[in-house]
Amino acid sequence: MSSEEPNFCFPVRKLENGLVKLVPFVRSVHPQLYFDGGRDHPELFRFLTYGPFPDFAELQDTFDDKFFRDPCTMMFAITDKTRSQDEETEGDASSFAGAIGLLNASPENSSIEIGHVLILPSFQRTHVAANAVGLLLGYCLEGPGEGGLGLRRVQWQAHASNARSIGLAQKMGFKLEGYLRWQRVLIPGKEGGERGDGRGRGRTDAMLSICWDDWEQKESRKECKRQWSCESDTFCILFSGPCRLHSDRDQMHNTTSSELESPFF
């Protein structure tokens, strides 16, 4: 398998609707866009367990280790189609809105997690994050006959202090299950609690989930409409949230609270 081919335990495909497109990360294209978009904004990495990166080489090494070599993780590049000049060009920096990932994938347990979300500053408080999350939810929870994976559980973990990430998850239908205390050890410079014995900071996470029965009862599914595009063989979800597209297609405004579009996950 080449370094450009997806290394993931579940089938992978492009996901899109009329507003955003999610494409599996290509090692030779998307890490550079990610680095260029985030290098002047260290605040984007506040609640992520990695970054900010002093140079591209360190980012590439981190991505190789955490994402490209791990069959239980898949990163997607987010393209804002309302700003894209050419929808077939994957390396367009002007429409590259950030990244979102699937992680902790378990075919044995029919479960997965949405995370590694980073939305670049010029795409925050727009339609981007909600639509990207909605696309992944539909892909994970819809049945195989409808283009999805048919999983039983999709979870979302957030730093316990990250109210905006928790708020976004809840707006998308995730249910708060509780808190995992001292769930992970943090690298230096990250926010967390101290043990007081010199062994570094730790982090407590909020755990949220949507399960298949939530989805089938439409408690979580109600914000999404499903559509199958036969021409492109692409799974599509039309997010029916509180967004409206201006006629000039230059901007999308979200009329709900700013919690819906946090860059910090």
Higher pLDDT, 201 or 235: 201
On whether the CB atoms of residues 164 and 259 are closer than 8 A, the answer is: yes
On whether the CB atoms of residues 76 and 67 are closer than 8 A, the answer is: no
Query: Can you tell me the distance from the alpha carbon of 262 to that of 95, in angstroms, rounded to the nearest whole number?
Result: 18
Higher pLDDT, 193 or 243: 193
Whether 92 shows a pLDDT value over 90: the answer reads no
User: What is the CB neighbour count within 10 angstroms for residue 38?
Assistant: 22
Q: What is the pLDDT of residue 5?
A: 73
Q: Report residue 218's pLDDT band, with 50, 70 and 90 as the boundaries.
A: low
Whether 243 shows a pLDDT value over 50: the answer reads no
Whether 254 shows a pLDDT value over 50: the answer reads no
- What CATH homologous superfamily does 15-261 map to? Gcn5-related N-acetyltransferase (GNAT) (3.40.630.30)
In what helix (H) or strand (E) does residue 117 lie, and over which residues does it extend?
strand 111-119
On whether the CB atoms of residues 187 and 197 are closer than 8 A, the answer is: no
pLDDT tens figures, 49-88: 999 999 999 999 999 999 999 999 999 999 999 997 665 6
pLDDT tens figures, 15-25: 999 999 999 99
Dump the DSSP string for 132-192.
HHHHHHHHHHS-GGGTS---SEEEEEEETT-HHHHHHHHHTT-EEEEEEEEEEEPPTT---
Q: Report residue 251's pLDDT band, with 50, 70 and 90 as the boundaries.
A: very low
Q: How far is CA 84 from CA 80, 89, 91, 129, 136, in A?
A: 6, 9, 11, 17, 21
